[in-house]
Chains A and B, each alone.
Chain A
Amino acid sequence: MVGDNTSLLKLDRHVRGYSMTGAFAEADILVSIRDLTFSRGTRKIFDGVNLEIPRGKITAIMGPSGTGKTTLLKMIGGQLRPHHGSVTVDGRVVHKLRLSQLYELRKRMGMLFQSGALLTDLSVFENVAFPLREHTKLPESMIRDLVLMKLEAVGLRGARDLMPSQLSGGMARRVALARAIALDPLMIMYDEPFSGQDPISMGVLVQLIHDLNDGLSLTSIVVSHDVKETATIADYIYLISEGTVVGQGTPEEIERSDSPWVRQFMHGLADGPVPFHYPASDYASDLLRSRQASQRSSL
C-alpha cells in the first residue's frame, strides 16, 4: 500500500514537470541516464542505472573501486556505448550522435583524468593552449592571454614553462583542470580528483572545484571514493554499487540514511553488507585440502 502511494507521488511529480527520479525539475537537468546496462565480458558493470545531473550544481558519484564510475564518465563523454538504455546530455542522446556531432558536443565538455593526461611532449603553457590551437583560429596574443588567465585561475601562472614531468601530481591535475576549462565548457567531469593527493593539494583541489563551478557557472560531476572531501562540496550525491544506484540525496540526507550499505561506505566500516572476505570456499576444508595435496606430493 505504501509502495503504491510513492509511485503515485512520482507519477504526479512527473506530470508536473519533474524528472523520472523525481529529484529535480525537468528543465534543470543537464545529463540524464536512463536504464543504463553495460557489461564487460560476462561481468555486468551496470544493471539498470538511472540518474540525473542538475545544471549548475556539483554532483558526486561515489562507490567502491571497480564499480565502473570511470566507465560511467566515459559513457557520458561518448567514448563507450551503453548496451541498453540511454545517456542524454543537454537534450541529445550521446550514442546516437554522428562522430562530428559528438566532437562538437565534446568541445563543451571538460574531463579531468585521474592521471591528468597531460601531453608529455608539450610544456604547461602549450598543454593549456592545445585545445585553443586545435579548435579556434585565435591570434597568438589572444591565446597567450587566455592561457595565462586559465593558469592564473588554478594558481600556476608561474609554472607555465615547466614540462609535465617536472610537476607534482597535484600540480599536474591543476594544469589539466586549466586545460579542461580552456574552451569555457558547459560541464566538467572529474575522475577521482582527490586520489593519492597530500592534504594540502587535496584542499586546493576541493576549493578549486567549488570556486570554478560557481565562478564559471559550470556543471560538475565528481567521481570519487574520498567520502569526506566530496561530501563537503557536493550538492547531490549518488552512491553506486554492483551496477545499481544504492543511495542518493543531498549530503545531509545521505549522512542520515539508515541503509546498512550506505552507512558502511560513508563511515568506512571494514565489515558489513560488503564482506571483508573475497568469496571463497570453506576455510577449514580449504586448509585440509592443501594438507592432503602436500602429503600426496611428498609420497
Chain B
Amino acid sequence: MLEPVQKVGRSTLDSLQKLGRANLFLLHVLTGIPDILRRFRLLFAQVYSVGVLSILIIGVSGLFVGMVLGLQGYYVLSDFGAEQTLGVMVAASLVRELGPVVTALLFAGRAGSALTAEIGLMKATEQLSGMEMMAVDPIKRIIAPRLFAGIISMPLLACLFSMVGVMGGYFVGVGLLGVDEGAFWSQMRAKIDFYDDILNGVIKSLVFGVVVTWIAVFEGYDSIPTSEGVSRATTRSVVYAAFAVLGWDFVLTALMFGED
C-alpha cells in the first residue's frame, strides 16, 4: 500500500540530493578560475573543441532556419501587403528567440553530449582518480576549462546563428521572392534595437551556455563509471539540457519582454 508513496519520497530525496551535489560541484569549479587565468592554453584548447568544432553545424542550421523563416514570413506578410517588413520579422525572431534557443539545443547535442561522455569515460577509466592521486585536482584541471569554454562559446555561436540566419532570410526573401532590398534592410535597422533585442539575446545565450555546459560536465562527473552508466548520463545530459533551455527561455523572455 505504502510502497508507491515511498517510491515518490525516495525519488524526490534523490533528486534534491543530486541538485545539492550539482551546486556544490559548481562552487568547486568556480574555485578553478585563478588556475584558468594562469593557464589560458587549457581554455583555448577547449574553446576549440567545444566551440570552433561546432561552427559548421550551427552555421548550416542557422542558414536553413533563416531560409524557412523567409519563406513562411513572406506568405503570411504578403497577405497583408506587409512583405517589406520581412527583414524585421526574420531578424527579430532570430535574435530574440531562435538564435539563442536553437543554438543551445544544437550545442547540447553536439558539444554537451561529447563533454559528458568524455568526462564519464575519464572517470570510468580511473583517469580522474589517477589525477587526484597525482595531487592534481581534476575539477580544476579538467572540468573548469570545459565549463568556461562552453560559457564563452555559446553567445558567439548564437550570434553566428542569427547572422547566418538573417543572410538565409535575405537570400530567400530578396533573392527568390522579390522583396525590395532597401526596405528589407532599412526596416530591419529601424526596428531592431541593440539593447532590447540583441543584448537580451546575448544575455539569454550566456545563461544557456552556463546551464547546458554545467549539466553536461556535472552529468559526466556524477555518472556511474560503467559503460551503461556513461551512456545513461549522456542521454540525461541532452534531455535535461533541452528542458532547462526551454524552461529558462520562458522565464527570461517573461523578464525581458514581459512589460510591454
Contact = CB atoms under 8 A, between A and B. Distances in A.
A, B: real partners: yes
Contact of A134 (B127, B129, B133, B136): B136
A117 B135 contact: no
B130 A117 contact: yes
A119 B137 CA distance: 14
A160 interface: no
Provide the main secondary structure of the chain B interface. helix
Nearest to A111: B133
A131 B136 CA distance: 8
The interface centre, meaning the residue of A106, A117, A118, A176 with most chain B CB atoms within 10 A of its CB, is: A117
Interface string B211-237: 000000000000000000000000000
B27 interface: no
A224 B126 CA distance: 18
Interface string B103-127: 0000000000000000000100111
B176 interface: no
Contacts of B126: 113-115, 117
B135 A103 contact: yes
Interface string A101-125: 0011011011101110111100000
A107 B127 contact: no
Interface in A61-104: 77, 79, 103-104
A31 to B, nearest CB: 15
Nearest to A104: B135
A117 B127 contact: yes
Contact of B133 (A109, A114, A119, A120): A109
A79 B129 contact: yes
B134 interface: yes
B127 A119 contact: yes
A109 B133 CA distance: 8
A261 interface: no
A120 B130 contact: no
B132 interface: yes
Contacts of A109: 133
Interface residues of A, number: 22
Contacts of A135: 135
A135 B126 CA distance: 20
A130 interface: yes
A111 B133 CA distance: 7
Interface string B134-163: 111100010000000000000000000000
B193 to A, nearest CB: 45
Contacts of B131: 119
The interface centre, meaning the residue of B130, B131, B134, B136 with most chain A CB atoms within 10 A of its CB, is: B134
A120 B129 contact: no
Contact of B134 (A104, A106, A114, A120): A106
A106 B127 contact: no
B171 to A, nearest CB: 40
B156 to A, nearest CB: 24
B28 to A, nearest CB: 11
A77 B127 contact: no
Nearest to B49: A121
Contacts of B125: 115, 117, 120
B14 to A, nearest CB: 15
A280 to B, nearest CB: 27
B24 to A, nearest CB: 14
B130 A113 contact: yes
A146 to B, nearest CB: 15
Contacts of A114: 126
Contact of A111 (B127, B130, B141): B130
A192 to B, nearest CB: 12
Interface of A: 77, 79, 103-104, 106-107, 109-111, 113-115, 117-120, 130-131, 134-135, 176, 179
Given A113-B133, A131-B136, A135-B135, 10 more contacts: A79-B132, A103-B135, A106-B135, A107-B134, A113-B126, A113-B129, A114-B126, A117-B125, A134-B134, A134-B141
21 contacts: A77-B133, A79-B132, A79-B133, A106-B132, A106-B134, A109-B133, A110-B133, A111-B133, A113-B130, A115-B125, A115-B126, A117-B125, A117-B126, A117-B127, A118-B127, A119-B131, A130-B136, A131-B136, A134-B134, A134-B135, A179-B134
